């Protein structure tokens, strides 16, 4: 080839390459092709077409135990796509319309945890789709309760639980935390009942049982929530309040009277509360969580109502999610620690602001102890102790362990210590502001951390070891508590003398009680436990957390005094809070008493929400 030809070939080649490159960038920028990262727990393809707003119109039929109606979505077509994919699980899809006209749809293969892809035909100009659907008796998000399962025993009750991937079982939706939608809803319920949602809520019953809701801020689908029951509202301040069954409203209002103070503390730390109202609904005892951060309306277990405000750190936790989780959301469930680790840290700071450093350190040390136990439990599967998980092909529920919560917390606590609290608070406040109403992957967080904290203050930190390696790095901040040192001494002296000076525990917080009970030596005897129970009446404690850890010890060490067995059975039948009941059934299994656990479980199971059932089925090897 002569020079001239070579030059020509090179010029042509450069021209072709640059054309190709231009085309690619146009596609990328003009059509936002890569806005969403790959998501192992949703069938949706939001880079193609994404939902932006939901208009929900449903009837709640307690006689049939069915929710039915329509979900209408505004959609944005990013790629001239001719189909949109939603997630649906155990729903009956009756028909689908595109801009008001019937259109074709199909349901894909059923996956045990993901459900089905609902593929709907659209054109590149379709603006709205409407799905006509009904729930079924396999709908996992919803628990239908008989009057007997409520506090007041006169009316039925219903609540939903969306996180992590259950919203698709009561609404066909693009069920990935990367999606954000606003919503309106019309909900018709029996006129004796009130409906409330994760939205602007009524404060009184309507005359005809029809309710209208509006959520004006964009939220991820796992935060869609509905509760229906014979409930009433009481304000705590002009922007906080509680819903509960009639016989409980006063007690709940009193228990949660610190809500406004918590809000003020939270706002002083990390910026304005953007959801306007912060209410809590106390649900019947089968609710599977301590709390669930549904925006504007946290769902909570009645086991928090101890009569002395001693379990309100859960409310601080759910409030903290208004920033970490609801405002800045984990992009996928592999990044779950970004929701929960930040929230435990933030919860700890709210508790410190309200009740002082000693209290916060105790909470922190309990988290540390839980973390060490969880790490031990995963000694044969250490990859489960990484902060960043890989849950592809698994149910995301499996990643929802103490690692995300307590290792996430320890990571941030350690960073705070290295950077100094002042710098760290500036960093966190900016983090929430910069990423508000969007999602974040672990990788994006690491980049943000490097640029805005570590490089800025010339700090070196073993971030990768914390996030991508098992166990707890050796630089973990060493939380200390004098109060807990005293508790340890108390245990020693009781066991040595067989006598209890009950006055030492006069002012103990729940944290001290829990630390006391959980740190009995492995060889404690039933006789020693009798001495302790006679002094403190732990078997009959009305503080659910204290009672639960005491029952755990009773099971583990074969303590039978004060009819504790009867109490344990009664507790397991009444309460469905997963953390509590799974701790107790695990204690049965570990103590070689699986049969005993199973005998109780057979009586209790029907009262549990599907989330708790799934966990305990696995713990006890229960077969339906």
Catalytic residues: 318, 405
Q: Does 453 bind ligand BES (CB under 6 A)?
A: no
Identify what 400 binds: Zn ion, ligand BES, none; CB under 5 to 8 Å per kind. ligand BES
CB nearer ligand BES, residue 164 or residue 236 = 164
Q: Enumerate residues 62-81 that contact Zn ion by CB under 5 A.
A: none
CB nearer ligand BES, residue 240 or residue 339 = 339
Q: Does 400 bind ligand BES (CB under 6 A)?
A: yes
Q: Does 289 bind ligand BES (CB under 6 A)?
A: yes
The first and second tokens of residue 332, run together, are 């996928």
Which residue from 579, 589, 593, 614 is in contact with ligand BES, where contact means CB under 6 A?
A: 579
514 neighbors 536 (Cβ within 8 angstroms)? no
Convert residues 303-342 into a mask of x (bound to Zn ion by CB under 5 A) and - (unbound): -------------------------------------x--
Helical packing angle, 408-419 and 421-434, nearest 10°: 120
Paired sense of beta strands 231-235 and 157-160, if any: unpaired
Distance CA 404, CA 397 (A): 12
Distance CA 620, CA 57 (A): 40
Identify what 62 binds: Zn ion, ligand BES, none; CB under 5 to 8 Å per kind. none
Distance CA 290, CA 344 (A): 14
CB nearer ligand BES, residue 156 or residue 177 = 177
What is the H or E stretch that residue 487 is in?
Answer: helix 482-497
Closest approach of ligand BES to the CB of residue 499, in Å: 35
Distance CA 223, CA 182 (A): 11
Which residue from 156, 285, 290, 295 is in contact with ligand BES, where contact means CB under 6 A?
A: 290
CB nearer ligand BES, residue 256 or residue 536 = 256
Closest approach of ligand BES to the CB of residue 340, in Å: 6
Q: Enumerate residues 307-326 that contact ligand BES by CB under 6 A.
A: 314, 317-318, 321
Closest approach of ligand BES to the CB of residue 288, in Å: 8
Identify what 412 binds: Zn ion, ligand BES, none; CB under 5 to 8 Å per kind. none
Integer-rounded Cα Rg, in Å, for the chain is: 26
Identify what 341 binds: ligand BES, Zn ion, none; CB under 5 to 8 Å per kind. none
Q: Decide: helix, strand or coil at residue 363.
A: helix
342 neighbors 408 (Cβ within 8 angstroms)? yes
CB nearer Zn ion, residue 126 or residue 402 = 402
CB nearer ligand BES, residue 45 or residue 163 = 163
DSSP symbol at 375: H
Identify what 579 binds: ligand BES, Zn ion, none; CB under 5 to 8 Å per kind. ligand BES
CA-angle at 41, arms to 393 and 123, nearest 5°: 130
Q: Enumerate residues 333-352 that contact ligand BES by CB under 6 A.
A: 340
The first and second tokens of residue 452, run together, are 């805005």
Q: Decide: helix, strand or coil at residue 576.
A: coil
The first and second tokens of residue 457, run together, are 């203050």
303 neighbors 581 (Cβ within 8 angstroms)? no
- Nearest Cα residue to 78 out of 124, 132, 120, 121: 124
Q: How many residues bind Zn ion (CB under 5 A)?
A: 2
Please provide the DSSP assignment of 415-430 as one string. Answer: HHHHH-HHHHHHHHHH
Identify what 164 binds: Zn ion, ligand BES, none; CB under 5 to 8 Å per kind. ligand BES
CB nearer ligand BES, residue 282 or residue 400 = 400
Which residue from 343, 510, 541, 619 is in contact with Zn ion, where contact means CB under 5 A?
A: 343
Distance CA 111, CA 312 (A): 38
Q: Which residues bind Zn ion (CB under 5 A)?
A: 340, 343
Q: Which residues bind ligand BES (CB under 6 A)?
A: 163-164, 289-293, 314, 317-318, 321, 340, 400, 405, 579
């Amino acid at each position: 080839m002569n020079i001239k030809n070579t030059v020509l070939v090179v010029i042509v080649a450069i021209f072709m390459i640059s054309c190709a490159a231009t085309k690619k960038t146009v596609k990328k920028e003009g059509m936002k092709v890569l806005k969403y990262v790959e998501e192992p727990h949703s069938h949706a393809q939001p880079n193609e077409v994404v939902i932006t707003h939901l208009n929900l119109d449903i009837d709640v039929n307690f006689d049939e135990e069915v929710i039915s109606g329509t979900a209408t979505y505004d959609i944005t077509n990013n790629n001239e796509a001719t189909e949109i994919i939603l997630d649906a699980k155990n729903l009956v899809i009756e028909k689908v319309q595109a801009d008001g006209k019937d259109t074709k749809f199909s349901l894909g293969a059923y996956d045990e945890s993901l459900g089905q892809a609902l593929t709907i035909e659209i054109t590149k100009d379709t603006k709205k789709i409407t799905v006509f659907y009904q729930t079924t008796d396999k709908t996992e998000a919803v628990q239908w309760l008989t009057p007997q399962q409520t506090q007041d025993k006169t009316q039925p009750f219903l609540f939903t639980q969306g996180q992590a991937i259950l919203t698709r079982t009561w609404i066909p939706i693009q069920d990935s935390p990367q999606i954000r939608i606003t919503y309106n809803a019309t909900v018709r319920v029996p006129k004796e009942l009130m409906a409330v949602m994760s939205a602007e809520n009524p404060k009184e019953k309507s005359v005809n049982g029809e309710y209208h809701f509006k959520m004006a801020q964009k939220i991820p689908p796992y935060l869609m929530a509905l509760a229906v029951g014979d409930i009433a509202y009481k304000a705590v301040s002009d922007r906080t309040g509680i819903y509960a069954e009639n016989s409980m409203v006063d007690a709940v209002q009193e228990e949660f009277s610190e809500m406004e103070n918590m809000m003020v503390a939270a706002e002083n730390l990390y910026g304005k509360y953007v959801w306007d109202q912060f209410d809590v609904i106390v649900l019947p005892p089968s609710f599977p969580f301590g709390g669930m951060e549904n925006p504007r309306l946290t769902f909570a277990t009645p086991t928090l109502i101890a009569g002395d405000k001693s379990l309100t750190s859960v409310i601080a936790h759910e409030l903290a999610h208004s920033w970490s989780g609801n405002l800045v959301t984990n992009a996928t469930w592999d990044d779950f620690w970004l929701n929960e680790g930040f929230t435990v840290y933030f919860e700890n700071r709210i508790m410190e602001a309200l009740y002082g450093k000693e209290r916060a350190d105790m909470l922190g040390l309990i988290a540390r102890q839980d973390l060490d136990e969880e790490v031990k439990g995963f000694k044969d599967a250490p990859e489960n102790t990484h902060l960043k998980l890989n849950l592809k092909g698994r149910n995301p529920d499996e990643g929802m362990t103490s690692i995300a919560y307590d290792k996430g917390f320890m990571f941030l606590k350690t960073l705070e210590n290295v950077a100094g609290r002042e710098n760290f608070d500036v960093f966190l406040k900016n983090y929430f502001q910069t990423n508000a109403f969007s999602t974040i992957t672990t990788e994006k967080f690491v980049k943000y951390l490097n640029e805005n904290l570590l490089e800025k203050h010339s700090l070196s930190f073993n971030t990768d070891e914390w996030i991508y390696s098992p166990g707890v790095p050796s630089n973990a901040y060493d939380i200390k508590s004098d109060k807990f040192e005293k508790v340890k001494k108390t245990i020693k002296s009781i066991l040595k003398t067989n006598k209890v000076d009950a006055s030492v525990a006069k002012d103990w917080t729940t944290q001290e009680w829990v630390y006391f009970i959980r740190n009995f030596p492995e060889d404690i005897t039933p006789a020693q436990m009798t001495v302790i129970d006679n002094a403190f009446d732990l078997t009959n404690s009305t503080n659910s957390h204290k009672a639960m850890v005491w029952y755990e010890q009773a099971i583990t060490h074969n303590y039978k005094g004060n009819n504790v067995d009867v109490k344990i059975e009664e507790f397991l039948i009444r309460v469905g809070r997963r953390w509590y009941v799974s701790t107790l059934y695990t204690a049965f299994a570990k103590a070689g008493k699986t049969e005993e656990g199973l005998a109780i479980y057979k009586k209790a199971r029907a009262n549990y929400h599907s989330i708790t059932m799934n966990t305990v089925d696995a713990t006890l090897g229960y077969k339906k």
